[in-house]
Amino acid sequence: MTAARQAPTAALLPSGMVLITGGYNGSYLKTAELYNPANGTFTATGSMASPRSAHTAALLDAGTVLVAGGEGSGHADLNGAEYFDPSTGTFTAVGNMTTARCAHTATRLPNALVLIAGVKAAACRGRS
């Protein structure tokens, strides 16, 4: 990878590429990279709005990826969410969850909604 990462998140894109976001390597990361399994290479892509670790990533119907929650700088509880658009390689902040969470799950439902469930971020503090 282009950066060492502890507790990042990965999402398989429709193109077959794998989006790898955030993580921790002495500080919380907002960087992201794409893995190309066809040739085994990693390439840097746009950065997230917020550095985060122990977050989730869910592929949406439009081929974008919803990245949500996690733990951030200063062990802050994160409730923010953002979209990654693979056509532009950019992240865009989209709002906040009602509760900060880390080490949670994000599942895309058949009706195009994403169910986010699991641990409140305070329970993860400092584990990244």
Question: What does pTM read for this prediction?
Answer: 0.90
pLDDT in tens, the chain (128 residues): 999 999 999 999 999 999 999 999 999 999 999 999 999 999 999 999 999 999 999 999 889 999 999 999 888 889 999 999 999 999 999 999 999 988 889 999 999 899 999 876 555 655 54
Domains recognised in the chain with CATH numbers: 9-120 (2.120.10.80)
| CA 77 to each of CA 43, 51, 85, 110, 122: distance values in angstroms, whole numbers, following the listed order | 29, 11, 25, 29, 6
- What's the chain look like in SS3? CCCCCECCEEEECCCCCEEEECCECCCECCCEEEEECCCCEEEEECCCCCCCECCEEEECCCCCEEEECCEEHHHEECCEEEEEECCCCEEEEEEECCCCECCCEEEECCCCCEEEECCEHHHHCCCC
